[in-house]
């Protein structure tokens, strides 16, 4: 397979600027970098480009080539997401024009936040943008993740922003591991470090690696 490049994209220039601006409100820049610096728009642009970047090879040497039923399933999923982004950008601009007579990307951040909040709360009842039954779509997710194809545009945007900020840099976002640094995840140096079995988290375990031995409990007999 091909090496990751920045050439595979889906958005036109305006769509890209709009999505980048919206993502910058989902994970804003404060005294630490945000979505803009991490390149989350590159992540989603690559995802929407087709099915050549769905699964990184586990050693980080490129991407898997999909075929058969898996390829068909991902092609449908990507096409669905493309439609949501295309419609979503149009809706952001429509709301922005109604609010301030400008496109979304040209608004002040507070105005952008206002529009995103409207979208989140489903104040506008556009057919593609009805309020989801499950707010944000990603809660409580205490054990299993949700199927993104069930998400409407705004929760999908939030989900992809988070994925682009915090997934392995091979997927085009989390540039220079910015996202991991922001939240304090030391992470492995690379996919290859995990793949080779070198990566361990034991340094982050309790100072005393032994579980407490309670009175009356037999110790472990050593049979080795």
Which residues within the stretch 149-178 sit at the binding site for other proteins (CB under 8 A)? 149, 155, 158, 161-163, 166-168, 171
**Among residues 13, 67, 110, 201, the one that binds other proteins under rule CB under 8 A:** 201
Distance CA 162, CA 44 (A): 11
Q: Which residue has the tokens 């682009």?
A: 164
**Among residues 3, 13, 101, 202, the one that binds other proteins under rule CB under 8 A:** 202
- Strand-pairing partners, residue 63, are 56
Nearest CB to other proteins, comparing residues 12 and 150: 150
Q: Which region among 3-11, 88-96, 123-131, 201-209 touches other proteins (by CB under 8 A)?
A: 201-209
Residues 6+ apart with CB under 8 A from 115: 92, 95, 96, 99, 104, 107
Q: How far is the CB of 14 from other proteins (least distance, A)?
A: 22
| C-alpha to C-alpha distances, 153 to 82, 83, 116, 166, 196, nearest whole angstrom | 10, 9, 11, 20, 38
Q: Which residue has the tokens 């990507």?
A: 78
**Among residues 139, 156, 176, 178, the one that binds other proteins under rule CB under 8 A:** 139
Q: What is the number of other CB atoms lying within 10 angstroms of the CB of residue 130?
A: 11
- Distance from the Cα of residue 159 to its chain's centroid: 5
Q: How far is the CB of 40 from other proteins (least distance, A)?
A: 12
- Say if CB 33 and CB 178 are below 8 A apart: yes
Nearest CB to other proteins, comparing residues 13 and 147: 147
Interaction between residue 140 and other proteins (CB under 8 A): yes
Distance CA 95, CA 98 (A): 5
Interaction between residue 66 and other proteins (CB under 8 A): no
Distance CA 139, CA 7 (A): 34
Nearest CB to other proteins, comparing residues 101 and 202: 202
Q: How far is the CB of 128 from other proteins (least distance, A)?
A: 19
**Among residues 102, 113, 128, 176, the one that binds other proteins under rule CB under 8 A:** 113
Interaction between residue 125 and other proteins (CB under 8 A): no
Q: Three-state SS for 63? A: strand
Nearest CB to other proteins, comparing residues 13 and 205: 205
Of residues 5-64, those binding other proteins (CB under 8 A): 25-28, 30, 32, 34, 54-60
Nearest CB to other proteins, comparing residues 73 and 100: 73
């Amino acid at each position: 397979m091909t090496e990751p490049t920045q050439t595979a994209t889906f958005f036109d220039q305006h769509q890209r600027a709009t999505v980048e601006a919206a993502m910058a409100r989902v994970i804003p820049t404060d005294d630490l970098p945000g979505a803009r610096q991490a390149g989350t728009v590159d992540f989603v642009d690559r995802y929407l480009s087709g099915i050549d970047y769905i699964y990184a090879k586990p050693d980080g040497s490129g991407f898997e080539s999909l075929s058969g039923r898996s390829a068909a399933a991902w092609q449908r999923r990507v096409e669905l997401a493309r439609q949501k982004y295309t419609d979503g950008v149009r809706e952001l601009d429509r709301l922005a024009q109604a609010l301030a007579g400008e496109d979304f990307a040209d608004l002040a951040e507070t105005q952008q936040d206002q529009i995103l909040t409207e979208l989140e709360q489903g104040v506008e009842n556009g057919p593609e943008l009805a309020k989801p039954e499950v707010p944000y779509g990603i809660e409580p997710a205490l054990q299993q993740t949700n199927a993104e194809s069930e998400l409407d545009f705004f929760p999908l945007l939030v989900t992809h922003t988070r994925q682009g900020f915090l997934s392995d840099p091979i997927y085009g976002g989390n540039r220079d591991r910015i996202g991991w640094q922001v939240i304090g995840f030391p992470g492995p140096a690379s996919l290859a470090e995990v793949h080779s079995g070198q990566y361990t988290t034991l340094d982050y375990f309790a100072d005393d690696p032994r579980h407490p031995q309670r009175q009356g409990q037999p110790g472990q007999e050593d049979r080795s």
